[in-house]
Chain A
Amino acid sequence: MPSNDERWLDAEAGPVVRPYALTRGRTRHSGEAFDLVATVLATRAQVADPNALGPEHISVLHLAHAPTTVVDIASDVDLPLGVVRILLADLRELGLVAIRAPVSTKAQQIDRNTLREVLHGLRGL
């Protein structure tokens, strides 16, 4: 039988701060949609208004100093994908990150050279 603390604060109870509290209740992000594996990179532009950013925005921004993807960021910050998308869209709106579509946006449109590179890479593993 778990103690009261455990009973209320275990993983099944969910996080102490509800995920969407971090987004001030927004469940849809602004601007153009982006893929799970869209590439994200910080622009290194100056932050005009530091108050516009929460600590989670800052964490996400730091991770994007090297090119990464939406899912990698979500995994690294351990926040739900939907929340990370909203944070990323905020950062994009502020000009702090660029989000680039992955190689293709439709099945079968990955170009042959890329496919050959993937094949070569897999054989070399």
Chain B
Amino acid sequence: MAYGGYEQGSAAPQRHRAIKILLAGGFGVGKTTLVGAVSEIRPLRTEEPLTESSLQVDSTAGVERKTTTTVAMDFGRITLRQDLVLYLFGTPGQERFWFMWDELALGALGAVVLADTRRLADCFPAIDYFERREIPFIVALNCFDGARRYSAEDVRVALDLDAGLPIVLCDARSRESAKEVLIALVEHVLTVADEPVSR
């Protein structure tokens, strides 16, 4: 494919690569904490479609029937090299923001489902979502207070996860720990890529 303009710049832009990683999990499980521990947090405004009939207030010439309201979200950026940048997107927790997931998930390297063992059920929707779309993911148990209430294997049974799916323990506040979570995900994606296509 030809991309007009790149030829006129320096050679580097052709190699500029941006890679998405998703971070899912229930509200308050530590997604933003983990992103902040390992990356530079950047604010982002998006729009949530509205169907309310407040249209007579705004000038809507040329605007389709729906209008929007602004929603704030964050993303994290990790510059691995000048031409290789990771983007971490926390998937919005509330159901009304699920429309954002498909766009976030498209082309993503994979996903981390962050779980709190006290509220394991909160991560069911995320696991279900990634399984259905065959997006590789791992589960990271955020051990808030260092108190491990359940083993990784207990969690595997509780969440009905395949034997090959990595479950890692982490402290979302720790940069090293957050880094290990991302490493575990990429290693898992490499392993999955090695497997012959089945089912």
Contact = CB atoms under 8 A, between A and B. Distances in A.
Bound together: yes
Interface of A: 14, 18-21, 24-28, 35-39, 41-45, 67, 69, 71-72, 74-75, 78-82, 95, 97-100, 102-110, 112, 114-119, 121-125
Interface of B: 3-6, 8-9, 12-13, 16-20, 38, 42-47, 58-64, 66, 68-70, 75, 77-78, 80-81, 84-87, 89, 103-110, 133-136, 179, 182-183, 186-187, 189-190, 192-193
Given A67-B13, A80-B70, A106-B107, 13 more contacts: A19-B68, A25-B61, A26-B63, A27-B68, A35-B107, A37-B87, A44-B8, A69-B85, A98-B5, A110-B19, A112-B193, A119-B190, A124-B80
Nearest to A42: B5
Contacts, number: 171
B183 A123 contact: yes
Nearest to A110: B109
Chain B contact residues: helix, strand, loop or mixed: mixed
A36 B63 contact: no
Contacts of A78: 43, 45
Q: Which 10 A-B residue pairs are closest in the complex by CB-CB distance?
A: A121-B80, A43-B5, A98-B5, A25-B62, A37-B18, A67-B16, A67-B13, A75-B42, A80-B45, A98-B3
B46 A81 contact: yes
A20 B179 CA distance: 39
B87 A24 contact: no
B184 to A, nearest CB: 10
Contact of A98 (B4, B85, B86, B179): B4
A108 B111 CA distance: 11
Given A37-B19, A44-B8, A108-B136, A81 B84 contact: no
